[in-house]
Structures are given as C-alpha cells and as structure tokens.
Amino acid sequence: MFAVQMKGITKRFGPLVANDHVDFELEQGEVHALLGENGAGKTTLMRILYGLYHVDEGEILINGEAVHMTSPKDAIARGIGMVSQHFTLVQPFTVAENVVLGYNPGMTLNPMAIQKLVKDASEHFGLDVKPEALVRHLSVGECQRVEVLKALYRNASVLIMDEPTAVLVPQEVDVLFETLERLRKEGLSVIFISHKLNEVMTISDRITVLRDGKKIGTVNQQDTSEGELARMMVGRETFGVFRDEEAPCSSIPVLNIENLSAVDKKGMVALKDVCLQVCEGEVLGIAGVSGNGQSELGRVLTGMLKSTQGKIILGDQEISGYDPVQLVEAGIGRIPEDRQSGLVGELSVAENFALENLGDYVKNGMLDKKQIREKADQLIQEFQIKAQPTDHCRSLSGGNMQKVILARVLSRQPRLVVASQPTRGLDVGATEYVRKRLLEERARGAAVLLISEDLEEVIALSDRIAVMYEGRIVGTFSARDTTREQLGLMMAGAQ
C-alpha cells in the first residue's frame, strides 16, 4: 500500500495544462524526489496534494483510501505537511507560538506550556530549535527547521519539501539531508522537489521526473545517473554554455569600485568597504548566499540605492550617486535582480523598450509611435523574443521577459553590463540563451559584472570570482584556481 497515490492528475490554468494525467506513488518511509525544470508542474502537483489546488481530473489515495481535499486543513488532518519555498512563519512571534499556531488546544495560550511542548517535540524529532526565540532573529536554515517541526508537530507522516535547498548554504544542506535521512528511518515519507541533480542523487530513494506537465518516468536511485536524469528532465544533456577558457583577458579596467558602503532598506549596513575591479572583456562573478549584500551591490550599481561611502568609477569618470538615466548614458547596461521591477507588466513590449531611453523616441514633443514600433520589431527579431510589440509584458513567459530586458540593455552596446540573477527562475533554453548573450558581450569587449546565487552559473561564466559574505568581499579568485568546495566554504563565512 502506498502512503500517497495520485492517479491521472490533470490540472489546467486556462489554456495552460500544468499537470497532464500525472501518476505519482509515494511509498511508506522513502525519500522520493520530484525532479523537473521550472514550470514542469512539480509544485502544482504538490499543491494539489496539499489541498491548495483542486484537480480537474484524477484521483488521490492516502494510505489506500480515496480522499477529497478542499483545503490544507484537510491535508494536514490526513498527515500531510508541506514546507514551501517561501516560509509561512509569523516573524514577530516566537518559535513556539509559530509551531502551535492554529493547533493549540483550548482557548488560552500559556507561553511556558507551549515552549515546553515545542521543546519536547524538538527533542523528539531531533530538530534543534530554541522555542523562545523570535522567528525574525533566525537564520534561513533555522526557519526551515521550524517549518519542518511545525509539520511534524501536526503529526505529518508525509512531508513535502518544495526546493528546500534553494535558500541554504552547502553546509546547511548537509544538515538538512542528515535530518531527512534520520526522519526517514523513523518512518517519515518525504517528497523532495528539486531541479538540482546532485542533490536528488544524494538524498532520494526514488526519483520521478516531470517535464512540461507530463510524467516522464520514475527511477530507482541505484539504477540511474545524473546524466540520465538530465536527459529525462530536459530531453538532452544539460547546459552547454561555458566561457571560452582561451580568450585572453585584457587588463584595462572598465569599472573600479573603491571602498563602497551602503545601508539596506531597514538601515542596516549591507555593504562594507567593497573594492572591485572589472576589466574589458572579462566576466567578474559575485558569489554568495542570498542576503549577504549582493542584492544591494546590484542596486547601487543600477542607481536604485544610494551608497553611503566610497567611489564608483567607470573608465575615468566618477559615477557615484548617478541616477538610472545618467548611468545608462554613461554606458552601463543594467539587468535587474527582479525582472518584474525592470519591466512595467501592464505596458506593451514596445513601450518597455522605449521607456528607458524615451528621449530617443520623441518627435515634436510627441511619442514617435512609428519609430517605437520599428525598434520593437527589430529587437524582437534580433533577440528571438516570442511576443508581439503590442503584447503586455505581463503576459510573457519569464524567459521572454528577460529577453526583453536583455534586448533593451544590450542593443545600446554598453561598456559595462551589470547582471543580477540573470537566469533566476528561467528554464534551460532561456538560461542557455541568456548566458550565451552575456558571453558574447564579453567577447565584444564589454566588462560584465555577474551577480548570481547560482554557484554553477558563476563558475561556468566567470573569469574571476569574488565571494561576498556579510557585505564584504572576502576573497577574489581566478576561476581556474578555485574549487566549488572552497567557494562554498567562503560563502558560508569560513575563514
């Protein structure tokens, strides 16, 4: 008997078929990975199991019994817990309050009693948390442990984890995997959603691969390899874009950053004395775990955040404190961290192309609609964007949105490209395209500053890699002389 059996699950969102007759079986006490690219339908399938979405067709059996769930409440009652990518914790509450929230017997809340309950639970499950700590003081890894504990406290026998490693440093990943392994031995069944092959191979007993909403197959971990999984996932071998090792890197600096400091939205120091140099024809990668100042570095260099100290020099021109218009004029191509804030979704593709350099598209004080349209046609063709000039950007896929930004930025042949998380959330095809374009900029002689939380990406594209930790650059390496492990350790703050 299966812990969970999903038969012929079909889920449509308008014309999009997110799950197309998917079968999925979870055995008691196994870690079962659900592997697939972004948009393959993994999360949709699990949201159905957790009662967040409702099936259009198909059937769900839990412990052999057909069930009909209308909300997560039903799912929890049947022993299913889910830890989603974005934590659902109340920041100002304590760990204990978060764990018992909605699951507190009786009308009164006794802080000491619930802390005791949560302490016992944490010891019982071997999840090290401090019940009295406030959630807003916790690290990402600790928050995740609280989420797991919350699910187990509600007597979950099936735990769904949606890309749990995306936010963790390598060392925290190890701890998570140890925990899952132990819980599995105690009888917990785990569904592990991921698109990272190595993790899937490490942790899973079985792996189900989804592609374009369809199930491609289920394989045993012992009988498969990363190569086979990659083929199943994308229908071909994985990413083929790497920098050309041989290309010589000039030593003419384009960007010089001297002792740059900045504070974040909450007024906390986010950048401390950052010094960087990017040369012509070079990709400098910034590696780091989310929240160590990379985001602020990107925002300062794109004119969205004022620095508190230090100098930014482009060529021989000081550009500290420039606003976005001045930065673009100075020759910086800016790719924002969040695509959605680089485009106005409700405006058309053509208008989004024009807006950044609107002065070029004005005739007699009016918008030159013809020229805007022609430029859009040209860029759409040149960058292979699947859209019409009049389409709202909001209706485009993530990959096409990113291409709109790339087209806007690169068509001006910038001297420096600042690319923050340029491939985050994109599928393989779009990721390859973006990486290829960035390397073409490098070949053209532009300086490229690549800020990415995807370590593989930084390694694949960069000539030099700088690691950020707590707002500082803790080391700069030539990509040839470093290893993944070394970078991982530095990213986690090891000396």
Partner 1 sequence: MFKLERVPAPVWFRTLIPVLAIVTTFVVTSILVLAADANPLQAYYYFLIGPLSNRVSALETLVKGTPLLLTGIAVTIAFAAGYWNIGAEGQLYAGAIAAAWVGPLLGDFPPVLAIIIMLSGGFLAGMLWALIPALLKVKLAVDEVVTTLLMNSVMIFIVSYLLNGPWRDPVSGWPQSPQISTNAMLPKLVQGSRLHFGFIVALVMIGVVWFILSRTPLGLRMRATGMRQEAARFMGVNTSRIMLNAALISGGIAGLAGVSEIGGIHFHLIDAISPGYGYSGIIIATLGGLHPIGVGLAALFIGLIDTGAQSVSRALGVPVYLGNVVQGTLLLVTLGMFLLQNYRIIRVK
The interface with partner 1 within residues 369-398 (CB under 8 A) comprises 369
Q: How far apart are the C-alpha atoms of 62 and 78, rounded to whole Å?
A: 8
Measured from the CB of residue 104, what is the shortest distance to partner 1 in angstroms?
Answer: 25
Number of residues that bind partner 1 (CB under 8 A): 34
Nearer CB in complex with partner 1: 184/392: 392
Tokens of 438: 């960035």
- Determine the Cα–Cα distance for residues 366 and 443; give it in Å rounded to an integer: 38
Q: Which of 346, 480, 481, 495 binds partner 1 (CB under 8 A)?
A: 346
Nearest to partner 1 of 35, 407 (CB atom) = 407
Site for partner 1 in 70-109 (CB under 8 A): 70
Alpha-carbon gap, residue 475 to 5, rounded angstroms? 49
Pick 246 or 346: Cβ nearer partner 1: 346
Alpha-carbon distance values, 401 to 136, 335, 350 (Å): 33, 11, 12
Q: Pick from 280, 296, 351, 454: which binds partner 1 (CB under 8 A)? A: 351
From the list 181, 323, 382, 470, which residue makes contact with partner 1 (rule: CB under 8 A)? 323
- Candidates 406, 451, 460; CA nearest to 424 is 451
Which of 340, 381, 388, 478 contacts partner 1 by CB under 8 A? 340
H/E element, 67: strand 65-67
Q: What does the alpha-carbon distance between residue 36 and residue 4 come to, in Å, rounded to a whole number?
A: 20
217 belongs to the binding site for partner 1 (CB under 8 A): no
Q: Is the Cβ of residue 277 or residue 295 nearer to partner 1 in the bound state?
A: 295
Nearer to partner 1, 352 or 431 (CB): 352
Contact 251, 240 (CB under 8 A): no
- Closest CB to partner 1 among residues 304, 313: 304
The pair of three-digit structure tokens given for residue 281, joined into one six-digit string: 């024809």
Stretch of residues binding partner 1 (CB under 8 A), selected from 115-123, 161-169, 223-231, 352-360: 352-360
The answer to the question of residue 342 lying near partner 1 (CB under 8 A) is yes
Residues 438 and 417: beta-carbon distance below 8 Å: yes
Q: What DSSP assignment string belongs to 368-384?
A: -HHHHHHHHHHHHHHTT
Chain length of the chain? 495
Question: What is the closest distance, in whole angstroms, from the C-beta atom of residue 70 to partner 1 in the complex?
Answer: 5
**Do the Cβ atoms of 232 and 216 come closer than 8 Å?**
yes
Q: Rule CB under 8 A: is residue 330 a binding residue for partner 1?
A: no
Q: Which range touches partner 1 (CB under 8 A), out of 220-228, 347-355, 379-387, 471-479?
A: 347-355
Q: What does the DSSP 8-state code read for residue 358?
A: G
CB atoms within 10 A of CB 470: 13
The interface with partner 1 within residues 287-306 (CB under 8 A) comprises 302, 304
- When asked if residue 266 is in the footprint of partner 1 (CB under 8 A), the reply is no
184: enclosing H helix or E strand? helix 170-185
227 lies in the binding site for partner 1 (CB under 8 A): no
267 sits near partner 1 (criterion: CB under 8 A): no
Could you tell me the smallest distance in angstroms from the CB atom of residue 420 to partner 1? 11
Quick count: other Cβ atoms within 10 Å of Cβ 451? 24
* Separation of alpha carbons 413 and 411, rounded Å: 5
Distances (CA, A) of 413 to 27, 252, 409, 494: 55, 18, 8, 39
Q: What are the residues whose beta carbons fall under 8 Å from the beta carbon of 456, sequence distance 6 or more?
A: 239
Q: Which of 177, 184, 175 is nearest to 201 (CA)?
A: 177
Rounded to whole angstroms, the Cα distance separating 193 from 259 reads 41
Strand partners, 6: 24, 60
Nearer to partner 1, 190 or 335 (CB): 335
Structure tokens at 58: 């198909």
Stretch that binds partner 1, among 136-144, 222-230, 310-318, 338-346 (CB under 8 A): 338-346
| Residue 78 beta carbon to partner 1: minimum distance, rounded to whole angstroms | 17
- Give yes or no for residue 343 binding partner 1 (CB under 8 A): yes
With CB under 8 A as the contact rule, the residue among 8, 13, 91, 390 that binds partner 1 is 13
Which of 252, 367, 443, 494 touches partner 1 by CB under 8 A?
A: 367
Q: Looking at beta carbons only, is 159 or 385 nearer to partner 1?
A: 385
Closest separation between CB of residue 276 and partner 1, Å? 22
CA distances from 427 to 63, 234, 238 (A): 35, 9, 11
Q: Which of 288, 336, 399, 471 binds partner 1 (CB under 8 A)?
A: 336
Measured distance between the N- and C-terminal CA atoms of the chain, rounded to whole angstroms = 50
Burial of 7 (0-12, 13-18, 19+ CB in 10 A): middle
Indicate which single residue of 42, 211, 215, 334 sits in contact with partner 1 (rule: CB under 8 A).
Answer: 334
**Could you say which of 66, 362, 443, 494 contacts partner 1 (CB under 8 A)?**
362
- Smaller CB separation from partner 1, 323 or 377: 323
CB of 362 to partner 1, least distance (A): 5
Asked whether position 17 contacts partner 1 by CB under 8 A, the answer is no
For partner 1, the binding residues (CB under 8 A) are 13-14, 54, 68, 70, 302, 304, 323-325, 328, 334, 336, 340-347, 351-352, 354-356, 358-359, 361-362, 365-367, 369
